[in-house]
Amino acid sequence: MKFILQSNLIDATQWPAMLATLIAAWMVASQKKFKRNWGFWLFLASNVLWIVWGLHDAAYALIVLQICLLF
C-alpha cells in the first residue's frame, strides 16, 4: 500500500512539473528583470521535478534532456 501511494505521488509530479515549465517560460519572456530571474529559478525547479518523474518512469531521454537544459 505504501509503495502504491509513493508511486502515485511520483506519477503526479508530472503535472506540477508541466505547470512550472509553462509559468517559467512565461516569466522568462517578461521584460521585467524580477520576473525573468524568478522564471530562471522556476525552470531549474521544473528540471528537478521532470528528472524525479523520469527516473520513476524510466524516461531516460527526458532525464538527459533536463540535465542538458539544466546546464
Structural domain count, the chain: 1
pLDDT tens sequence across 15-26: 999 999 999 999
Q: Residue 4 pLDDT > 90, yes or no?
A: no
In the block, which residue shows the cell 521532470?
50
Residue 59: predicted pLDDT:
95
Task: Tell me the three cell numbers of residue 43.
Answer: 525552470
Q: Which residues contact 56 (CB under 8 A, 6 or more apart)?
A: 7, 10, 11, 13
Evaluate if residue 9 carries a pLDDT over 80: yes
Whether pLDDT at 1 is above 80: no
* Residue 17 structural domain: 2-70
Would the pTM count as exceeding 0.75? yes
Average of per-residue pLDDT across 2-27: 88
* DSSP-assigned states of every residue in 6-47: HHHHHHHTHHHHHHHHHHHHHHHT-SSHHHHHHHHHHHHHHH
Mean pLDDT of 50-66: 95
